[in-house]
Amino acid sequence: MSAEEALFQRFGKEIPVGTVLCREGEPGKEMYVIQSGKVRISKKVRDVEKVLAILGPGEFFGEMAIISNKPRNASATVEEAARLLVIDPKTFEAMIRGNSEIAVRMIKKLAERLSDADAQVETLLLSDPNSRVVQHMLQLCQTRGRPLEEGIEIDFPIRDLPRELAVGEPAIRYLCHRLEKSGLIELQGDRLTVRDTARLFDYLRFLEAKLKFGDL
pLDDT in tens, the chain (216 residues): 676 787 788 888 999 999 999 999 888 888 899 999 999 988 876 677 778 788 899 888 888 877 777 888 889 999 999 999 998 888 888 877 777 776 677 777 776 766 666 566 555 556 788 998 998 999 899 888 999 999 999 999 998 888 778 888 999 999 999 999 999 999 999 999 999 999 999 998 888 887 766 655
Cα angle: 205, vertex 206, 207; to 5 degrees: 90
Q: How open is the CA angle 37-43-48, to the nearest 5 degrees?
A: 115
Give the pLDDT score at 1: 65
Residue 12 lies in a domain: yes
Query: Is 107 inside any structural domain?
Result: no
- What's the pLDDT score for residue 120? 61
End-of-domain residue from the set 68, 100, 132: 100
Report yes or no: 43 and 28 within 8 Å, Cβ to Cβ: no
**Same domain (yes/no): 164, 132:** yes
Question: How high is the pLDDT of residue 121?
Answer: 58
Looking at the fold, whether 22 and 95 belong to one and the same domain comes out as yes
119/26 Cα distance (integer angstroms): 26
Q: Is 111 part of any domain? A: no
Split into its structural domains, the chain has a count of: 2
The answer to whether residue 106 is domain-embedded is no
Domain shared by 176 and 91, yes or no: no
Which CATH number characterizes residue 154's domain? 1.10.10.10
Do residues 143 and 85 both lie within one domain?
Answer: no
Q: Is residue 110 part of a domain?
A: no
Strands 191-194 and 185-188, how do they pair? Answer: antiparallel
Q: Is residue 179 part of a domain?
A: yes
Q: Which runs of consecutive H residues, i.e. helices, occur in the chain?
A: 3-11, 63-68, 89-98, 100-124, 129-144, 161-165, 169-181, 197-213
Residue 202 sits in which domain range? 124-213
